[in-house]
Structure 1
Amino acid sequence: MDQGKKASIALLAVIAGLTAIAGCRWLYGLPLGVDSTVYRAGALAVLRGQPLYDPLLALDPESALELPFTYPPSAALLFLPLALFPAQLVWLLFAVGTVLALWSVLRRFSGTRPVLLLVLLAVLEPVWRSIGLGQVNALLMALVVWDVLPSRDRRYGGVLIGLAAAVKLTPLIFIPHLFLTGRRADGFRALAAFSGASAIGALVLPGDSARYWTSAVVDNRNAGSVGWVGNQSLHGMLARFGVTSMAWYAALAALCLLLGALLVREFHRRGDPRAALLVTAGCALLVSPISWTHHWIWVVALAGYLAGRRAAPAGAAAVFTGLATASVPGGGHRELSWSPIQMVLGNAYVLAALAAGAVLTVRLLIRPGGRDRTSRDRLSAKH
């Protein structure tokens, strides 16, 4: 049996399993998918003329815990089709979409048996938690990857990044990535796509748009959770160390972005666009005020990139299984009383990303030179 048939069978088996879960939960009226429920509730709020940024009346308190809608109004419009389906089916759509998106990303980052690698990566916390929550992050990651690492021509390059940013603002960081790598036309298209989607949101939902862009976008309703162990960002790590000054956070974020830009330019110059993309994704996760552990879904692309490189994938898997962060007390500000060892374990995602950035910076400094032909040729062979 060839690899294509094996891949199809494996994907169909996964989809069948997810469908069975959703069907059973629907038959018994059990909640499923916390985040996908929020997306659906946002769509219902639009259809019912209810405010997006007040408590969502369509939420099931048993499953969603009164979570707010934190996305721009354009996202609510894109989520409108979800209102047609029960919550369990909406979860199924996002769960299946996540699996297919991860498979697609692995195909661009690893040329060796992406389905087998995807099955092995199911042990990673960002993967199983994203599927369990019904998260949209894997789909947004796939849009960015398809745009930055196209398999065909770039006639409409940048549009997918703009649409991803219209759902969640974090992908905006990939617009500077396009400019840094010399794709100015794609960068302007991304800006146009994002601006166009935002303008449509303002026309259809003027009140919600005004509230989002003037207050909700900076309303730190997660302030009490910034220092929670689940927030694996620079801001979260500083809060766990008891550093509340925004100046420290701003300085570290600026330094991270500066070094990240230099690494992106250098990897692009050496002909390794995948590494450049991973650097930008890592910077986005580090500098974002809130980066929940499931936001680190980019570890799947990293594992694909590292596949076949001795112990590197195993090391990444050891960090991102979530065992380290689960081994320390969290919540109720208990993070402030961590021991030094607990500080290392509880900040595992952040420290791993910072360590990787430091290693890359040192290696590029001590090995200046030409293009990375091995990486370039590998990429060319696959695309």
Structure 2
Amino acid sequence: MVTATVLAVIPGHRGWFDIGVYYGTVRHWTETGQLYDYVRPGTVYGFTYPPFAAVCMLPMRLFGWHPAIAVGVVLSAVATALLLYWLIDPIARRRGWCRWYAFGLAACLCGLTNPVRDTFSFGQVNLLLVALVFGDRQLADSRWKFLAGIGTGLAAAIKLTPALFIVHLLITRQWRAAGTATATALGATGLGFLIGPEVSRQFWTAILWDTDRVGGFANMSNQSLQGLIARLGPQLPGRALWVAASLAVLAIWAHRLQRATRARDTLAAYSLTGLACCLVSPITWVHHLVWVLPALVVLGDTALRERRRDLHTIGWLLQLVISSGMVWLWHPDGRTPGTLFGGSAYVLLTFALLVAMPIRDRPESEGLVAETGAETDVAETVAIPGPRPGRPAAVG
């Protein structure tokens, strides 16, 4: 009830703007053969994704405007439900919680966050991309592990930023998944060339490098390192400073990723890569920050495991900040502490999580759950010769 009230009252409905761009672009492409000269009426914004993304959106041509919105909302809702199930259900089972209650509470908190609200109200594809990548994480330890990498490759072919997850697979020595992801990304891109050779050449030679198509870097909605630097002042060497800052962030990411890999904390590893994607991308609109959500889950789970009140407090504070929409209270031309810390709050939050997000030690081996759903002590899940007095022998 509280979540529904807040969502109904809080300002910021985006009028399905992005899905309007997709819808108009697909119709324009099928009618004229041109993809990147479409501009949504009354705006300066057009299609900025690779041609393969437009190929995936071609079915929109079969729908009217309102059915297209409905399909987009349903797809994002399904992606959100899958993501929450993958993130929250293991915690609920380990702690013996009611799984439906835990899922519902997590869904409310997720729905309140600014990135999720904007993804739905813009009609964006962000949650679908996160689900594709984290689906690969689920496949990696299953009997379907030979399919791991396909989701990451598709996400990278639809939007370039998730391509960092292919580097993630290489760093973590998931060679088969990395090869599958690379082959999938190249194959999907090749399909785009096959269906639209001219628009593909146009994208890879011109559109990709035209940053004016996506809006100004200093826009308060741009919560990337480049956005932060642009708001600090036009007199700064923006491009050089962004390259240096991005290299520093990638070095921190690689170091922490290796640490998470050694600890076998795959959720933390994937979360770190999502954070790095948001930071180094030249444009990270607020709705792109759905990649931050898994890191908040890691933070909350660590607070529960270690019973740390400080982490509980930090977690709720970050939830409040990322749900607030506070970045729009400032203007990009005001070089004040408020603009730096308030107007760039989301990028600072993302960087803080990259640097300080807890990494759990071997979480996959902890807290295995009995059939009753009760939390099980770690020592009881290890095969021990002979039963303990008064207790049946544990099954290894």
The two structures have a TM-score, normalised by structure 1, of 0.82
Partner Cα distance (1:351, 1:32) in 2: 28
- Residues 1:294 and 1:379: Cα distance change in structure 2 (over 3 Å): farther
Match of 1:119 among 92, 108, 112: 108
Does 1:350 find its partner at 2:347? yes
Structure 1 SS opposite 2:295: helix
The answer as to 2:33 corresponding to 1:50 is yes
Q: Can you list the C-alpha shifts for 1:117-174, whole angstroms capped at 9, x where unaligned?
A: 1113222111111111111000010000001233633111101111111211111110
Identity of aligned residues (%): 30
Alignment of 1:215-294 (within 5 A): 215-222=206-213, 225-242=216-233, 243-294=236-287
Tell me if structure 2 keeps the 8 A contact 1:149–1:274: no
Distance across 2 between alignment mates of 1:246 and 1:144: 29
C-alpha distance in 2 between matches for 1:223 and 1:158:
29
Where does the alignment leave 5 or more consecutive residues of structure 1 unmatched? 1-9, 19-30, 365-370
Q: What per-residue deviation string (whole Å, max 9, x for no partner) do you get for residues 333-380 of structure 1?
A: xx23232133101110111122223325xx88xxxxxx813x223597
Assess, with a 3 A threshold, how the Cα gap between structure 1 residues 127 and 378 changes in structure 2: closer, same or farther: farther
Amino acid aligned to 2:315: P
Q: In the aligned structure 1, how far is the partner of 2:50 from the partner of 2:321?
A: 32
Q: Which residue is 2:69 aligned to?
A: 91
1:310-333 CA-to-partner distances (Å, cap 9, x unmatched) read 2243122122113321322x3xxx
CA RMSD of aligned residues (A): 2.5
Counterpart in the other structure of 2:23: 40
Per the alignment, residue 79 of structure 1 pairs with: 57
Q: What one-letter code is carried by the residue in structure 1 that aligns with 2:31? A: R
Counterparts of 1:287 and 1:327, CA distance in 2? 24
Give the ranges of 4+ consecutive aligned residues of structure 1 lying more than 3 Å apart after TM superposition. Answer: 378-382
Give yes or no for contact 2:224–2:282 (8 Å, CA) kept in 1: yes
Corresponding pairs, count: 337
2:151 match: 160
The one-letter code of the counterpart of 2:168 is H
**One-letter amino acid of the counterpart of residue 307, structure 1:** G
Shift of 1:301: 2.2
Per the TM alignment, residue 73 of structure 1 is displaced from its structure 2 partner at its CA by 0.8
Compared with structure 1, are the counterparts of its residues 284 and 379 closer, same or farther at alpha carbon in structure 2 (3 Å cutoff)? farther
Deviation for aligned residue 1:302: 2.7
Q: Which amino acid aligns with 1:92?
A: A
SS for the counterpart of 1:337 is coil
CA distance in 1, matches of 2:237, 2:104: 43
For 1:289-325, what per-residue CA distance to the aligned partner results, in whole angstroms no more than 9, with x for missing partners?
Answer: 0000010012332333333522243122122113321
Give the counterpart letter for 1:79 in structure 2: M
Contact 1:92 1:134 in 2 (8 A): no
- Tell me: CA distance 1:353–1:300, structure 2 relative to 1, closer, same or farther (3 Å): closer
Q: Could you tell me which of 154, 171, 191 is aligned with 1:200?
A: 191
2:118 aligned partner: 129
Q: What residue number does 2:317 align with?
A: 315
Q: Which residue of 1 aligns with 2:386?
A: none
Q: CA 1:381/1:256 → structure 2, altered by over 3 Å: closer, same or farther? A: farther
Q: Quick one: which of 290, 295, 299 aligns to 1:297?
A: 290
The answer (yes or no) to whether the contact 2:292–2:350 under 8 Å persists in 1 is no
Mapped contact 1:32–1:91 kept (Cα < 8 A):
no
Single out whichever of 276-285 and 339-348 deviates more from structure 2. Answer: 339-348
TM-score (normalizing by structure 2): 0.79
Task: Between 241-250 and 221-230, report the one with greater CA deviation.
Answer: 221-230
User: Cα–Cα, structure 1 residues 86 and 32, in superposed 2: closer, same or farther, change >3 Å?
Assistant: farther
Which residue in 1 is equivalent to 2:200? 209
